């Protein structure tokens, strides 16, 4: 079997005495879509941050296509093909929506001139933001900012796309469109790691589901089996529903 | 997700992206005309006028450099006087070694850039307010080192040894030097902002974590600007030195009042615009010209101007105008143009 695109090996992240992640093991083959569920504070976003390089691992390793990137900067990992969206959007408020995407296309995907501009426009189109391209990003409402997170991540031309709660707050119809978008990304060969509380949207896309709680992976497997497992019921309902 | 306001966008037909277009050419032509007219002034007016304009020129250069640092790269420096002072003092050194003060200014900027590079490793260990205080401390340390050299006049300042003898010619040369430094500062800022680096810098300023996650090398971008701004302030320092034929005292040329002045001009004019620092420098220049003799009222007027602008025009004079009208002499924004059919 070929080397997995992403390998997380005995990963731990601590902030002083607070151990957010402990001994996390995760291996994602190229082209797979993996969903991550778990209660608030389980360490889901921290896991994405450790993979994208925003947070440093206190122990363990992260490998991309077999290459150890544990000590590599977020910018370098992005250029290696990791695109991420932030759960709490972080727009470049004084730049336009288009320019926000252009940063990713120029720096993350390493494109120049007309190629970079075209790539940014396509990313905005996919995220449904093309019509707002000239708006200052700081003027977008929350939903627009979440779309911008997706658009910017796409503009970097990711092989591995890390999505952090992009479906929250969407209407039924919008959620369906989002599912279609993410499915088409998956079909185009992008490997996806998606944190989402809207489980209904998640299971339509992912091949595999991971449940994270108290900084550790509790269950990992087929989405429906994982959702039906005792561990997930225990994690979410505190063990009283067994 | 839903496609807003642009229904049925074809997968192949993407809108065009413009960046100023004709406005860019117009702005640059206008600037060239203004600069050429200013360059001709020594032939047209008496030396008193150009002597005053020297001050305006270095004020514009200083304001532009501080705007580049803070308004575009998000680095709030309170220590640019380190490089102003170094520029002035290194001019003594190169002048003593036989270089004219005019080519000397160019050499001095390059030398200060070489000094600023290692200093950036020190300064970048600090962030936000700590960075501001840290840069100030660096400036004080540089001053303390400089005054240990007796050849540089120690604590009492000194004069340039070799300057153009003819006073009329000297004043004209000084003015042209100041004009060239100003033009380089303003047009250099504009060139940086039109480049790929410019967009990355603005991303860093708005959110450096997000910028890093999109592939921007945050530290590298900041370092380039830190070194550039140091070189620009050194050139301004050299102009100040040439203009007064030396340095009156190290506490003056290394004084924190230069930082206060730069903040004032950039905030009044409009931070984060190329034109703002120019407008701010002109505003300060006029306030200084008409109120400097009014004793304590001078400070009252300058303070009142700062308060009024920050309360009622937080974007600054130029920033407010540009925001309301979308007008720019130096356009940097990308505009996506949709076809009229929609």
DSSP character string of B96-130: HTT--HHHHHHHHHHHHHHHHHHHHHHHTTS-HHH
Interface test with A, best of B11, B194, B215 (most A CBs within 10 A): B215
Per-residue pLDDT reduced to its tens digit, A135-170:
999 999 888 898 999 999 999 999 999 999 988 888
**A44 pLDDT more than 70:** yes
Residue of A106, A159, A184 for testing the chain B interface, max B β-carbons within 10 Å = A106
Give mean pLDDT, residues A103-116: 93
Residue B324 has pLDDT above 70, yes or no: yes
- What residues of chain A lie within 8 A of the CB of B212, using their CB? 53-54, 73-75, 78
Split into its structural domains, chain B has a count of 1
Q: Is residue B233 included in any domain, yes or no?
A: yes
Nearest to B47 by CA among B154, B224, B172: B172
B135-194: pLDDT as tens digits: 999 999 999 998 888 888 777 888 888 777 788 888 999 999 999 999 999 999 999 999
pLDDT at B78: 94
Concatenating the DSSP letter of every residue in B121-143 gives: HHHTTS-HHHHHHHHHHHHHHHH
Residue B132: predicted pLDDT: 94
Tokens of A224: 């429906």
Residues 6+ apart with CB under 8 A from A117: A102, A105, B17, B334
Which residues lie closer than 8 Å to A73 by C-beta, 6 or more apart? A53, B212, B217
For B206, the closest chain A residue by CA position comes to A92
What is the reported pLDDT for B2?
A: 40
Report the gap between the CA of A230 and the closest CA in chain B (Å).
Answer: 34
This model of the complex carries an ipTM of 0.90
Tell me the CA distances in angstroms from B33 to A236, B23, B284, one per residue in order.
71, 15, 24
Using the CB atoms, write b or e for A23-33: b if 16+ within 10 Å. Answer: ebebebbeebb
Q: How far is A225 from chain B (nearest CA, A)?
A: 28
Domain of residue B56, residue span: 22-253
Closest-CA residue in chain B for A128? B3
What pLDDT was estimated at residue B301? 86
Write out the H or E segment, with its range, that includes residue A220: strand A216-221
Helix (H) or strand (E) holding A51, with range, is helix A44-52
Give tens-digit pLDDT for B242-282.
Answer: 999 888 888 889 999 999 999 999 999 999 999 999 999 99
DSSP character for A136? B
B154 domain-assigned: yes
Per-residue pLDDT at B20: 80
- In our burial notation (b when 16+ CB lie closer than 10 A, e otherwise), range B202-212 reads bbbbbbbebbb
Contact B2 A109 (CB under 8 A): no
Distance between start and end Cα atoms, chain B: 20
pLDDT digits (tens, 9 = 90+) for B30-86: 999 999 999 989 899 888 889 899 999 999 999 999 999 999 988 999 999 999 999
Q: What is the pLDDT of residue B12?
A: 58
Say whether pLDDT at A71 is over 80: yes
Please indicate, yes or no, if residue B1 is contained in any of the structural domains: no
**CA gap B321, B330 in Å, rounded:** 14
In the predicted model, is pLDDT for residue B11 greater than 70?
Answer: no
Nearest to B86 by CA among B254, B258, B255, B248: B254
Q: Do B215 and A109 touch (CB under 8 A)?
A: yes
Domains of chain A: 1-81+158-242 (3.40.50.300), 92-157 (no CATH)
Using the beta-carbon criterion (under 8 Å), do B214 and A78 form an inter-chain contact?
Answer: yes
Alpha carbons A217 and A37: distance in angstroms, whole number: 10
Contacts of A93 in chain B (CB under 8 A): 206-207
8 Å CB contact of A128 and B3: yes
The pLDDT tens digits of the residues spanning A168-200 come to 888 888 888 889 999 999 999 999 999 998 888
Distance CA B29, CA B222 (A): 31
CB A103 to CB B1 under 8 A? no
Q: pLDDT (tens digit, 9 = 90+) per residue, B98-140? A: 888 999 999 999 999 999 999 999 999 998 889 999 999 999 9
Sign of CA dihedral B248, B254, B260, B263: positive
| Portion 264-323 of B in contact with A at CB < 8 A | 272
B4 touching A, CB under 8 A?
yes
Beta-carbon contacts of residue B199 (< 8 Å; ≥ 6 apart): A95, A99, A102, A103, A106
Euclidean distance between CA atoms A194 and A176, whole angstroms: 16
- Cα angle B288, B293, B294 (rounded to 5 degrees) comes to 100
Predicted confidence at residue B10, as pLDDT, reads: 45
Q: Is residue B277 domain-resident?
A: no
């Amino acid at each position: 079997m070929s080397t997995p695109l992403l390998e997380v090996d005995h990963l731990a992240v601590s902030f002083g005495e607070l151990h957010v992640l402990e001994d996390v093991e995760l291996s994602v083959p190229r082209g797979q879509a993996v969903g991550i569920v778990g209660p608030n504070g389980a360490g889901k976003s921290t896991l994405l941050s450790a993979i994208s390089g925003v947070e440093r691992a206190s122990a363990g390793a992260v490998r991309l296509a077999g290459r150890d990137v544990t000590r590599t900067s977020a910018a370098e990992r992005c250029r290696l093909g990791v695109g991420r969206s932030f759960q709490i959007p972080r727009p470049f408020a004084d730049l336009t929506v288009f320019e926000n995407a252009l940063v990713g296309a120029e720096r993350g995907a390493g494109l120049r001139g007309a190629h970079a501009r075209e790539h940014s426009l396509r990313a905005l189109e996919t995220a449904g933001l093309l019509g707002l391209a000239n708006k200052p990003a700081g003027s977008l409402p929350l939903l627009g900012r979440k779309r911008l997170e997706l658009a910017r991540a796409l503009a970097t031309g990711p092989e591995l796309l890390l999505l952090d709660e992009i479906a929250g707050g969407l209407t039924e119809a919008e959620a369906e469109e989002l599912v279609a978008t993410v499915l088409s990304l998956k079909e185009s060969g992008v490997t996806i790691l998606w944190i989402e509380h809207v489980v209904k949207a998640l299971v339509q896309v992912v091949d595999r589901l991971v449940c994270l709680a108290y900084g550790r992976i509790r269950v990992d497997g087929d989405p429906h089996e994982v959702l039906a497992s005792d561990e997930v019921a225990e994690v979410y309902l505190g063990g009283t529903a067994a | 997700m839903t496609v807003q306001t642009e229904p049925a966008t074809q997968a192949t037909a993407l809108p065009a992206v413009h960046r100023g277009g004709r406005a860019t050419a117009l702005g640059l032509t206008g600037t060239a005309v203004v600069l050429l007219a200013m360059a001709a002034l020594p032939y047209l007016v008496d030396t008193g006028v150009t002597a005053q304009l020297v001050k305006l020129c270095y004020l514009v250069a200083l304001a532009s450099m501080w705007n580049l640092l803070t308004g575009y790269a998000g680095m709030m420096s309170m220590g640019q006087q380190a490089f102003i002072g170094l520029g002035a003092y290194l001019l003594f050194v190169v002048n003593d070694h036989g270089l004219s003060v005019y080519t000397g200014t160019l050499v001095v900027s390059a030398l200060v850039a070489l000094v600023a590079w290692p200093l950036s490793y020190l300064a970048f260990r600090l962030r936000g307010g700590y960075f501001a205080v840290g840069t100030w401390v660096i400036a004080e340390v540089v001053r303390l080192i400089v005054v240990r050299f007796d050849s540089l006049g120690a604590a009492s300042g000194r004069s340039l040894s070799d300057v153009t003898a003819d006073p009329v010619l000297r004043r004209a040369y000084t003015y042209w030097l100041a004009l060239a430094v100003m033009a380089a500062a303003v047009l250099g800022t504009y060139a940086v902002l039109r480049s790929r680096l410019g967009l990355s810098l603005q991303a860093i300023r708005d959110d450096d974590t997000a910028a890093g996650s999109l592939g921007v090398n945050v530290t590298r971008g900041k370092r380039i600007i830190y070194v550039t701004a140091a070189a620009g302030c050194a050139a301004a320092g050299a102009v100040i030195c040439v203009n007064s034929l030396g340095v009156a005292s190290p506490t003056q040329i290394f004084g924190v009042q230069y930082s206060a002045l730069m903040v004032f001009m950039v905030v009044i004019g409009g931070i984060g615009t190329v034109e703002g620092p120019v407008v701010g420098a002109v505003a300060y220049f006029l306030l200084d010209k008409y109120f400097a003799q009014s004793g304590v009222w001078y400070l009252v007027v300058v303070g009142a101007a700062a308060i009024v602008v920050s309360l009622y025009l937080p974007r600054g004079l130029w920033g407010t105008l540009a925001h309301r009208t979308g007008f720019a002499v130096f356009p940097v924004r990308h505009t996506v143009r949709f076809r009229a059919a929609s």
